[in-house]
Amino acid sequence: MGGTMLVLKCLDGNTERTMGAVDSDGGEKLVVSWDAGPEDTLTRTEADELPTGPPEAPEA
């Protein structure tokens, strides 16, 4: 484990994202691979580009 690791503990007991390795950090994107399988890609944005409300619910 020579790289950057993230350790999270969910209050509801979910273990899907408890230990993750930072796979990529090119300044604009951050990729985290979690031990339980999922991979998350986070993209940098400017503060004035953040959403102002909750996301739209998908249509049925």
Q: What is the pLDDT of residues 7-48, one digit of tens each?
A: 999 899 988 999 999 987 677 888 999 998 889 998 888 878
More confident residue, 45 or 6: 6
The yes-or-no verdict on residue 52 having pLDDT over 80 is no
Output DSSP code: residue 48.
Answer: G
Spatial distance between the Cα atoms of 32 and 25, rounded to a whole number of angstroms: 9
More confident residue, 50 or 21: 21
State residue 11's pLDDT score.
92
More confident residue, 37 or 49: 37
State residue 57's pLDDT score.
66
Please report how many Cα atoms fall inside a 13 Å half-sphere around the Cα of residue 16, on the Cβ side. Answer: 5
